[in-house]
């Protein structure tokens, strides 16, 4: 008969409880870090989570809007933009609302003259806003034409954003070009964020598929060089041991309210869809992937773009490579669950180590429970029972 092995470790870690008070706080922390840090300089995750929790606790939507619109504080415009983009700490999710807040930092032509603060804002704040704008425009491009017309154009009109189609582009193509311009601007200001690099790399792939060589676009060379550097670094990273434990940076399930952690990367399965690698979520189970799909699909389900239309648009300022276009364009359906889990029942054999955290009433600290044989569902239920007082986690004292 096999047994379930559970290890206990005492840790002073209450950050998950802090963030749980704010809906979408995990997503907020993830997106702000992906837009605000260089790819090869990730934040100290526990410290960063604490900073995010403090920010969300101390300032509500009205406070930040006052600091931005009335006091014209650059940091407030940036913070409000990310809250709109993640639906955290605000009443609604709005891509155009986020862009409306990023505009005063990034684009003098697309904001009212009395709101523009880009000429006085620090470069690091402007760079983060450019990365945020790149992600927002990429989300618009990644949707469907119906999404653009029925949602984003309506929001754009509501916020009164002054946006003309760049280079005569229309609809989602205009958002694509604006996304890559903001990504390049972020790199120029010294921030090669994961979002900026992913947008640039995805743009290059789409252009190549349409038969256009974007390497010849001189204005974008800072971005192209940063992408090439990223590829070289990723190749070097892949040669290292992928299963080493990184202190302070556990692998956490992206499922809503799951919080199960993996000791090693292999404990979490990555989404197998077309979402950008740097933003690719990992899940402890197929159940968590299903729950997260409504939020994740806006990055994973890229709408179709006619390649001929894209090629013709890009040739207004880019040089074509040839007239060949690959007609294959895989489509990710809403019910596509990105099969990555084997069929069959969970077996009681040692597998990837997973972690949950539960409060210990005796010590006042949190207990970190590590198991190599419990399934994600069992670990969640075990945690729920402890939280409800139906089970008792043994104290190490």
Instruction: Evaluate if residue 12 carries a pLDDT over 50.
Output: no
Mean pLDDT estimate for the chain? 76
Instruction: Evaluate if residue 396 carries a pLDDT over 70.
Output: no
154-168: per-residue pLDDT in tens?
999 999 987 766 566
Per-domain residue ranges of the chain: 14-245
Mean of the pLDDT values across residues 318-337?
A: 36
CA dihedral for 113, 115, 120, 126, sign (positive or negative): negative
Q: Which residues have C-beta within 8 Å of that of residue 376, sequence separation ≥ 6? A: 253, 258, 260, 284, 285, 287, 288, 354
Q: Which of 63-67, 292-296, 342-346, 389-393 has the largest mean confidence?
A: 63-67
Mean of the pLDDT values across residues 65-79?
A: 96
**Lowest mean pLDDT, pick from 139-148, 241-250, 380-389:** 241-250
Calculate the dihedral angle through the C-alpha atoms of 379, 384, 387, 393, rounding to the nearest 10 degrees: -30
pLDDT value of position 249: 45
Which string of DSSP letters, residue by residue, matches 38-87?
-TTS---HHHHHHHHHHHHHH--HHHHHHHHHTT--HHHHHHHHHHHHHT
Separation of alpha carbons 374 and 113, rounded Å: 59
Q: And the tokens for 48?
A: 């960063």
Query: How far is CA 233 from each of CA 36, 224, 236, 302, 347, rounded to the nearest angstrom?
Result: 19, 14, 5, 27, 38
pLDDT value of position 242: 47
Separation of alpha carbons 393 and 383, rounded Å: 9
**Tokens 């596509």 -> residue:** 336
89-101: per-residue pLDDT in tens?
998 899 999 999 9
Instruction: Evaluate if residue 54 carries a pLDDT over 90.
Output: no
Q: Name the nearest CA neighbour of 142 among 195, 101, 191.
A: 195
Separation of alpha carbons 170 and 168, rounded Å: 7
Is the separation of the CB atoms in 213 and 249 below 8 Å?
Answer: no
Query: How far is CA 20 from each of CA 26, 27, 257, 258, 376, rounded to the nearest angstrom?
Result: 8, 12, 8, 11, 19
241-276: per-residue pLDDT in tens?
444 444 444 567 888 777 777 766 667 888 887 776
pLDDT value of position 100: 96
171-181: per-residue pLDDT in tens?
888 898 899 99
Instruction: Evaluate if residue 199 carries a pLDDT over 60.
Output: yes
Q: What is the pTM of this model?
A: 0.67
pLDDT value of position 315: 57
Confidence band, pLDDT 50/70/90 cuts, at residue 11: very low
CA–chain centroid gap for 251, Å, is 15
CA–chain centroid gap for 360, Å, is 32
Instruction: Evaluate if residue 338 carries a pLDDT over 70.
Output: no
Is the separation of the CB atoms in 186 and 222 below 8 Å?
Answer: no
pLDDT value of position 246: 44
Is the separation of the CB atoms in 50 and 18 below 8 Å?
Answer: yes
Q: And the tokens for 181?
A: 């311009």
């Amino acid at each position: 008969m096999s047994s379930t092995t559970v290890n206990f470790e005492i840790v002073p870690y209450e950050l998950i409880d802090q963030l749980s008070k704010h809906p979408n706080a995990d997503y907020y922390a993830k997106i702000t870090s992906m837009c605000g840090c260089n790819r090869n300089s990730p934040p100290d995750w526990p410290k960063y989570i604490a900073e995010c929790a403090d920010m969300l606790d101390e300032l509500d939507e009205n406070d930040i809007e006052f600091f931005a619109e009335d006091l014209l504080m650059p940091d407030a415009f940036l913070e409000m933009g990310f809250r709109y983009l993640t639906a955290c700490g605000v009443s609604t999710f709005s891509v155009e609302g986020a862009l409306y807040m990023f505009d005063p930092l990034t684009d003098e032509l697309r904001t009212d003259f009395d709101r523009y603060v880009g000429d006085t804002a620090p470069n690091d704040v402007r760079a983060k806003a450019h990365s945020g704008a790149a992600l927002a425009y990429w989300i618009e491009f990644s949707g469907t034409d119906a999404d653009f017309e029925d949602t984003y154009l309506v929001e754009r009109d509501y916020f009164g954003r002054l946006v003309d189609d760049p280079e005569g582009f229309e609809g989602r193509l205009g958002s694509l070009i604006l996304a890559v311009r903001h990504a390049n601007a972020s790199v120029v200001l010294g921030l090669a964020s994961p979002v900026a690099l992913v947008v640039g790399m995805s743009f290059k792939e789409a252009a190549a598929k349409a038969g256009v060589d974007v390497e010849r676009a001189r204005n974008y060379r800072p971005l192209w060089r940063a992408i090439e550097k990223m590829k070289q670094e990723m190749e070097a990273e892949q040669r290292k041991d992928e299963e080493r434990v990184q202190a302070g940076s556990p692998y956490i399930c992206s499922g809503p309210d799951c919080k199960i952690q993996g000791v090693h990367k292999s404990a979490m399965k990555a989404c197998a869809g077309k979402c950008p690698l740097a933003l690719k979520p990992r899940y402890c189970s197929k159940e968590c992937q299903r729950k997260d799909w409504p939020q994740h699909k806006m990055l994973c389900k890229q709408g179709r773009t006619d390649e001929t239309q894209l090629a013709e648009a890009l040739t207004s300022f880019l040089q074509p490579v040839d007239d060949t276009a690959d007609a294959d364009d895989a489509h990710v359906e809403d019910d596509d669950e990105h099969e990555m889990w084997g069929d069959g029942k969970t077996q009681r054999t040692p597998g990837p180590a997973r972690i949950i955290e539960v409060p210990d009433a005796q010590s006042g600290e949190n207990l970190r429970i590590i198991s190599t044989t419990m399934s994600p569902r069992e670990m969640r239920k075990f945690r729920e029972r402890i939280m409800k007082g139906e089970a008792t986690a043994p104290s190490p004292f």
